[in-house]
Amino acid sequence: MTIGMLLIVAGTMLPIFHVEGEYFAGEVYKYVYTAGAAILLLSRLFSGYKGENDRLRRLYRIESWSAIFFCVAAFFMFYSEGARDWLAFTLAGGAIQVYTSIMIPRVARKEEKK
């Protein structure tokens, strides 16, 4: 999961900071981002919550939706040239990721106290 998230960050930052050079000239950032989104989606699909708490189960399911948003963003990178739709889906996936990364440990701590 960490490698996938790092590739997504790298794929997002390369066009924003206009990184150009021998290896990143042109369209390489699209493939870096897409590889990160695919790795993250596979890791989210195969690592689920197996406990009894329904709220944690829902949070993990929501977290897997963030990976789906990143994959849709990767699709829009290739589909709509010149548009910034991919950036909107990246921000939506990132917002979901931030929310679940805060709430999952919080709910898990409450569950341990019980």
- Spacing of C-alpha 92 from chain mean position: 9
Q: What are the C-alpha distances in Å from 46 to residues 3, 24, 35, 40, 68?
A: 15, 32, 17, 10, 14
Quote the radius of gyration of the chain (alpha carbons, Å).
16
Domains of the chain by residue range: 2-113
Judging by beta carbons within 10 Å of its beta carbon (0-12, 13-18, 19+), is residue 36 exposed, middle or buried? buried
16-58 pLDDT, tens per residue?
Answer: 777 666 555 567 888 999 999 999 999 998 887 888 889 999 9
Quick one: pLDDT band at residue 1, thresholds 50, 70, 90? confident
Q: Measure the CA–CA gap between 34 and 93, rounded to whole angstroms.
A: 14
67-94 pLDDT, tens per residue?
Answer: 999 999 999 988 877 677 888 999 999 9
Residue 12: what pLDDT?
A: 87
Q: Give the pTM.
A: 0.86
Residue with tokens 């829902």: 58
